[in-house]
């Protein structure tokens, strides 16, 4: 069925319908349409409508009731058109086929109700997969970072995008490109890690996958959200422009330039007293004028009104709308509020120039035209809708592969892992038999499904116990404690089970939720990094048995694993590994899969002494002038394998130590597998700049590669590193490459350098901008037999 757009006959006969002509450029079509629209029709394109929002106060977010209670009835809301439809699949469980048909019916009503018949752009969350019932649930972003595999993340995003587009969805609210700065922040689970290079390269890959599938990727949260004081959600951000430029902004640059994202969502943050939603310097001067972004900037949910209600920089909704529109926010989400009647009144009074409305409208219309929504042949019902399946073999295969690659083996004393087949195994801990322990906050089963338990999870999610019991049928399981609460009555039974077994697997961690309903997730911030509830007591009691213990941490943030867990023979970390995470963990524990994950965040030694990310200058590390030692228990990039690797022949190609400030340098290393089984080494390249005009991190990641090597074989890994990657924000606020001595360090982690290659940046100080080279090129090729020693 093709929708015929109900354009007035007089407009068509006069040639005023040039906006429908697909032969014209999208910007010309938008320019032809804008003068034909009334103010109400213009503003209708700048708002979303969340018809599923719950005004009873039982919705997912605080302040939601305040924001949706004045939403007009559906018929009135679509009378002049509609910019976006908010989460038609992600608000309640709905059969995918019925949901797609219902969405098509809504679109048909929108087209029929308004004078120009412009369909709505439909957006959904898609951080861990299409946030819909019965859709594949992929690992959380921290697991993407742990995999160090952008290509696999791109493949995942492509599958997510295709499933969304098949259901009639045009825009995905992902990826999250916030670089985590304080692990206490509840949304750490949504970040890819603590390093901007890892976040940027992985995030750009996700964007490419989604955009190539025809879905608009939305970068969030632009910017600074993750650097709040005390790790508290939506709290003030005490950050200077240098940290913003060198740590927070680069992933967004990379995702725009290397991924091609067409949308950006601003953050809730207020940086140095200026709410981002009202920050023209950031949203217009940096994002658009300096970086050249020409897509659509959308508001985070309710954030325009927050300028009045939470930030206190606007006296009323009209003033909030003026500030946001002036700063550069094009579309108010999730539902019509400040950009509705308050903005209309402000325009009519002269407080807001209509030209600002037209500026935002032009961007919105261009994107809708690019999506085909203004074409006569546009059809509201997706093709083959009756065959729509959101959880299929392809999706589950990628979800399992990513989960396997993301499991990190932190410690393995005496080769305790993999588990021997004949070992008597006890499985203890509150997350050991909880399928929900595999899922992050923005997965559909936890984000929405918990409110509709009668519908079930929609997909099969085996717990660790279920997956492990298939391989160890005699497995004995005791929970011991809950994730939260102070009930210690089950610890004695857990201790008994551990003492009676050959090996105890002790599974502890988080339960994701929202706004205090979990221990990790949006609004679930932590006062410190101790394990939640009385899990710490359980760990101490089980370790006290003296029997071998494998500590498994299933969490959305790193927890302190210092002296208190020194007795654990083995430690395994997984960050919400998705619906098949239980299987992946069981396969790693039993040796079916050789672990290859690496930490995307450091694991603290102590629950305090924060913040403690590895991106710190000399005085941010252990010193003699402070009694607090922030040295982590396990550093960023750390991870072990069941095989052994030797690195050799690390060198600078050509032998010259001179690195032109406008050139590049090539370095390489040979990695040999000296063990008895195939494995994957993750080679990491770090930059060390010992003397600079501003303090610099001791090391920072500038390249990496997953290197699969068979037993007895070797591979040569080569990095081509542009000097641009050594740039930083200097004392004048300009991004510069400064001549002087530096080192490129090849390492197994940020704390385990294997080889340090001394180089000298030569030439005059050079200023670089947005078009600088952003990544190192890497090549992996066979190198023959494994080496017998490390000649680095």
What is residue 316's predicted lDDT score, i.e. its pLDDT? 97
Q: How far is 734 from 708, CA to CA, in rounded Å?
A: 40
Residue with the two structure tokens 């559906």: 74
CA 667 to chain centre: 30
pLDDT exceeds 70 at position 111 = yes
If one counts every other C-beta atom within 10 angstroms of the C-beta of residue 510, the result is: 32
User: Tokens at residue 328, please?
Assistant: 């550069």
Which of 647, 729, 728, 726 lies closest to 687 in space, CA to CA? 726
Q: How far is 179 from 247, CA to CA, in rounded Å?
A: 7
Q: How far is 582 from 580, CA to CA, in rounded Å?
A: 5
pLDDT exceeds 70 at position 20 = yes
Model pLDDT for residues 124-159, shown as the tens digit of each residue: 999 999 999 999 999 999 999 999 999 999 999 999
Which of 777, 768, 764 lies closest to 253 in space, CA to CA? 768
- What are φ and ψ of residue 235, in 5° steps? -110, 160
Q: How far is 248 from 250, CA to CA, in rounded Å?
A: 6
What is residue 57's predicted lDDT score, i.e. its pLDDT? 39
- Runs of H (alpha helix) within 86-133: 96-113
What is residue 17's predicted lDDT score, i.e. its pLDDT? 85
* Over residues 72-98, mean pLDDT: 92
Which of 209, 214, 49 lies closest to 129 in space, CA to CA? 209
- What are φ and ψ of residue 473, in 5° steps? -60, -25
Q: How confident is the model at residue 59 (pLDDT cuts 50, 70, 90)?
A: very low
What is residue 69's predicted lDDT score, i.e. its pLDDT? 67
Of 13-27, 349-363, 533-547, 614-628, the range with the lowest mean pLDDT is 13-27
* Over residues 540-544, mean pLDDT: 97
Inter-residue contact 388 to 100 (CB < 8 Å): yes
Which of 125, 104, 107 lies closest to 215 in space, CA to CA? 125
* Over residues 239-267, mean pLDDT: 97
User: Tokens at residue 438, please?
Assistant: 């595999």
pLDDT exceeds 50 at position 788 = no
Long-range contacts of 413-418 (CB under 8 A, 24+ apart): 413/569, 413/570, 414/569, 416/503, 416/548, 416/550, 416/569, 416/570, 417/550, 417/570, 417/572, 417/588, 417/589, 417/591, 417/642, 418/588, 418/589, 418/590, 418/591, 418/642
- What are φ and ψ of residue 151, in 5° steps? -65, -40
Of 333-337, 419-423, 525-529, 767-771, the range with the lowest mean pLDDT is 419-423
If one counts every other C-beta atom within 10 angstroms of the C-beta of residue 585, the result is: 27
Percent of the chain beyond pLDDT 70?
94
* Packing angle of the helix pair 317-327, 354-370 (nearest 10 deg): 60
Sheet holding 740-749, edge to edge: 658-660, 752-762, 740-749, 679-688, 700-709
The helix (H) or strand (E) run that includes residue 707 is strand 700-709
- Runs of H (alpha helix) within 390-437: 393-406
Spatial neighbors of 438 by CB under 8 A, at least 6 apart, are 137, 461, 463, 554, 576, 577, 578, 579, 581, 582
What is residue 7's predicted lDDT score, i.e. its pLDDT? 45
- Higher model confidence: residue 291 or residue 787? 291
Helix or strand or coil: residue 519? Answer: coil
* Over residues 676-684, mean pLDDT: 98
The helix (H) or strand (E) run that includes residue 280 is helix 280-280
Q: How far is 683 from 777, CA to CA, in rounded Å?
A: 13
Percent of the chain beyond pLDDT 90?
86
Dihedral, CA of residue 82, residue 84, residue 85 and residue 91, to nearest 10:
-140
pLDDT exceeds 90 at position 785 = no
Q: How far is 408 from 599, CA to CA, in rounded Å?
A: 7
Helix or strand or coil: residue 663? Answer: coil
User: Tokens at residue 781, please?
Assistant: 């090729």
Q: How far is 509 from 503, CA to CA, in rounded Å?
A: 19
Q: How confident is the model at residue 251 (pLDDT cuts 50, 70, 90)?
A: very high
Which of 48, 96, 83, 95 lies closest to 68 in space, CA to CA? 48
Average pLDDT, the chain: 93
Model pLDDT for residues 29-56, shown as the tens digit of each residue: 999 999 999 999 999 999 999 876 444 4
Inter-residue contact 535 to 553 (CB < 8 Å): no
What is residue 9's predicted lDDT score, i.e. its pLDDT? 43
Model pLDDT for residues 270-314, shown as the tens digit of each residue: 999 999 999 999 999 999 999 999 999 999 999 999 999 999 999
Handedness of CA 64, 67, 73, 74 (dihedral sign): negative
What is residue 786's predicted lDDT score, i.e. its pLDDT? 57
* Over residues 519-537, mean pLDDT: 96
- Higher model confidence: residue 15 or residue 641? 641
Q: How confident is the model at residue 66 (pLDDT cuts 50, 70, 90)?
A: low
Residue with the two structure tokens 């992996």: 780
Q: How far is 553 from 556, CA to CA, in rounded Å?
A: 10
* Packing angle of the helix pair 317-327, 341-349 (nearest 10 deg): 80
Residue 691 DSSP one-character state? S
Q: How confident is the model at residue 72 (pLDDT cuts 50, 70, 90)?
A: confident
Inter-residue contact 594 to 643 (CB < 8 Å): yes
What is residue 342's predicted lDDT score, i.e. its pLDDT? 97
CA 724 to each of CA 483, 765, 769, 771: distance values in angstroms, whole numbers, following the listed order: 46, 12, 9, 10
What is residue 380's predicted lDDT score, i.e. its pLDDT? 87
Sheet holding 713-722, edge to edge: 645-652, 664-673, 713-722, 777-785
Q: How confident is the model at residue 12 (pLDDT cuts 50, 70, 90)?
A: very low
């Amino acid at each position: 069925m093709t929708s015929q757009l109900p354009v007035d006959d007089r407009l068509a006969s006069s040639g005023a319908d040039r906006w429908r002509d697909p032969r014209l450029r999208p910007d010309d079509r938008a320019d032809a349409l804008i003068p034909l629209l009334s103010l109400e029709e213009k503003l209708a394109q700048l708002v979303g409508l969340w018809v599923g929002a719950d005004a009873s106060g039982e919705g997912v977010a605080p302040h939601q009731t305040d924001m949706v209670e004045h939403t007009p009835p559906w018929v009135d809301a679509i009378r002049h058109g509609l910019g976006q439809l908010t989460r038609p699949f992600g608000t309640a469980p709905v059969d995918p086929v019925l949901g797609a048909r219902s969405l098509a019916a809504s679109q048909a009503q929108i087209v029929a109700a308004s004078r120009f018949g412009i369909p709505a752009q439909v957006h959904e969350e898609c951080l861990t997969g299409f946030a819909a019932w019965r859709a594949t649930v992929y690992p959380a972003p921290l697991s993407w970072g742990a995999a160090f595999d952008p290509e696999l993340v791109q493949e995942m995003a492509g599958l997510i995008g295709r499933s969304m587009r098949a259901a009639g969805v045009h825009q995905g609210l992902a990826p999250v490109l916030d670089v985590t700065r304080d692990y206490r922040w509840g949304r750490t689970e949504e970040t890819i890690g603590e390093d901007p290079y890892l976040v940027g390269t992985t995030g750009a890959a996700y964007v490419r996958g989604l955009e190539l599938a025809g879905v608009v990727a939305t970068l969030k949260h632009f910017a600074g959200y993750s650097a709040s004081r005390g790790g508290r959600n939506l709290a003030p951000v005490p950050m200077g422009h240098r940290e913003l430029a060198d740590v927070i902004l680069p992933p967004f640059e990379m995702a725009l330039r290397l991924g091609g994202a067409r949308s950006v969502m601003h953050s809730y943050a207020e940086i140095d007293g200026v709410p981002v939603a009202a920050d023209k310097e950031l949203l217009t001067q940096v994002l658009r004028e300096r970086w050249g972004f020409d897509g659509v900037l959308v508001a985070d949910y309710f954030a325009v009104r927050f300028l009045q209600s939470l930030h206190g920089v606007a006296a009323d909704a009209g003033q909030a709308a003026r500030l946001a529109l002036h700063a550069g926010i094009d579309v108010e989400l999730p539902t019509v509020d400040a950009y509705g009647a308050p903005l209309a009144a402000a325009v009519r009074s002269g407080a807001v120039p209509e030209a600002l409305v037209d500026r935002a409208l032009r961007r919105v219309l261009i994107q809708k035209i690019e999506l085909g929504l203004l074409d006569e042949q546009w059809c509201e019902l997706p093709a083959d809708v009756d065959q729509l399946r959101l959880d299929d073999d392809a999706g589950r295969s990628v979800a399992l592969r990513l989960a396997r690659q993301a499991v990190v083996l932190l410690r393995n004393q005496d080769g305790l892992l993999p588990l021997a087949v004949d070992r008597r195994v006890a499985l203890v801990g509150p997350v050991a038999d909880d399928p929900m322990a595999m899922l992050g906050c923005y997965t559909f089963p936890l984000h929405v499904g918990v409110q509709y338990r009668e519908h079930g999870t929609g997909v099969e999610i085996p717990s660790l116990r279920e997956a492990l019991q298939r391989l160890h049928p005699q497995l004995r399981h005791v929970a011991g404690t809950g994730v939260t609460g102070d009930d210690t009555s089950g610890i004695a039974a857990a201790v008994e089970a551990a003492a009676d077994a050959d090996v105890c697997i002790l599974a502890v961690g988080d339960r994701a939720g929202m706004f205090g309903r979990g221990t990790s997730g949006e609004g679930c911030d932590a006062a410190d990094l101790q394990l939640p509830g009385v899990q710490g007591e359980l760990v101490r009691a089980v370790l006290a048995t003296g029997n071998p213990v494998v500590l498994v941490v299933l969490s959305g943030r790193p927890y302190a694993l210092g002296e208190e867990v020194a007795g654990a023979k083995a430690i395994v970390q997984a960050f919400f590994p998705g619906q098949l995470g239980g299987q992946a963990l069981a396969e790693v524990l039993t040796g079916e899969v050789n672990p290859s994950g690496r930490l995307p965040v450091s694991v603290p030694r102590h629950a305090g002494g924060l913040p403690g990310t590895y991106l710190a200058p000399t005085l941010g590390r252990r010193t003699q002038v402070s009694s607090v030692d922030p040295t982590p228990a396990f550093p960023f990039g750390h991870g072990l394998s069941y095989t052994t690797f030797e690195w050799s022949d690390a060198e600078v190609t050509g032998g010259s130590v001179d690195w032109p400030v406008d050139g590049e340098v090539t370095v390489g290393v040979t990695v040999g597998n000296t063990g008895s089984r195939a494995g994957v080494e993750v080679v990491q390249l770090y930059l060390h700049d010992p003397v600079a005009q501003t303090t610099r991190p001791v090391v920072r990641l500038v390249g990496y590669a997953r290197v699969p090597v068979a037993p007895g074989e070797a591979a040569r890994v080569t990095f081509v590193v542009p000097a641009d990657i050594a740039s930083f924000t200097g004392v004048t606020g300009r991004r510069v490459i400064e001549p002087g001595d530096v080192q490129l360090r090849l390492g197994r982690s940020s704390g385990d350098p294997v080889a340090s290659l001394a180089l000298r940046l030569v030439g005059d100080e050079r200023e670089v901008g947005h078009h600088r080279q952003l990544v190192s090129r890497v090549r992996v090729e066979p190198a023959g037999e494994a080496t017998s020693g490390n000649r680095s």
